[in-house]
Amino acid sequence: MPPAASLAVVVAAVFAALTRWWLARLPEPDEPDEDKVAYAQLAQPPFLALACAVAGAVLAACAVWQLPEPLVPVWTLLAAMTPVLAYVDARTHLLPFLMVAPLYVGTWLLTLAVAWAGDDWSIARDALVGNVAVFATFVLLYVVAGRFFAGGFGYGDVRLSAVLGVALGPLGLTASFVGLYAGFVIAAVVGIVRNRGRVRGGPPIAFGPAMLLGAFVGTFV
């Protein structure tokens, strides 16, 4: 594994472990559902930091070893944040704004930094195109789903799509397409498996984890 990729794995693991501390201090939504689990309670399991660290390291290793070096920082950050975001969304059907918004800012700061450092502004251009295209797609889907399919997905998924668009854009059109729609495939497979199992009639499937994993699928294209 190249030195940059090895460093990315370590950084992702350490940062992912620290997200448990962040989660414990998140403020609750203004009008949470009655059965919503508190963020502080979600952060209580002692194994959470280790689980996030291992998952973050694995995601970073899978993604960055084959990516161009300028794209490694953004995907390292995304790998570090994916475990906690997926965990929270799976448990609460919420993607906290105070996690997604800093992640969005962080992806843009890293993108602009590597574009400036390498004097290659095509990275920032492609990130902007990916940001706009993916976000617009999800806004449209959100409007359509809200009109015809109650409980399709939430606006937190729309916000997250902007982050994924920034990360996927510099990988190219094909990778962006695969990374975007792999999330729908993963969610569909999970839904089919659940309906064939013993969990019929349960709450809707959280779409955030599928979106995040789908984006990493795009790095293999």
pLDDT tier for residue 2 given thresholds of 50, 70 and 90: confident
pLDDT at 152: 60
pLDDT tier for residue 154 given thresholds of 50, 70 and 90: confident
pLDDT for residue 151 is more than 60:
no
pLDDT for residue 123 is more than 90:
yes
* Other residues' Cβ atoms within 10 Å of the Cβ of residue 129: 16
Burial state string for 152-191 with b = 16 or more CB within 10 A and e = fewer than 16: ebbebbbbbbbbbbbbbbbbeeebbebbbebbeebbeeee
pLDDT digits (tens, 9 = 90+) for 76-98: 999 999 999 999 999 999 999 99
Tally of domains in the chain: 1
Q: Are 41 and 91 in contact (CB under 8 A)?
A: no
> Which residues make Cβ contacts (< 8 Å) with residue 105, sequence separation at least 6?
none
pLDDT at 150: 59
Average pLDDT of the residues in 154-180: 96
pLDDT tier for residue 153 given thresholds of 50, 70 and 90: confident
pLDDT for residue 200 is more than 60:
no
DSSP string, 97-157: HHHHHHHHHHHHHHHHHHHHHTT-THHHHHHHHHHHHHHHHHHHHHHHHHHHSTTS--HHH
* Other residues' Cβ atoms within 10 Å of the Cβ of residue 203: 9
pLDDT digits (tens, 9 = 90+) for 19-67: 999 999 999 988 777 788 999 999 999 899 999 999 999 999 998 888 9
Domain coverage including residue 170? 3-218
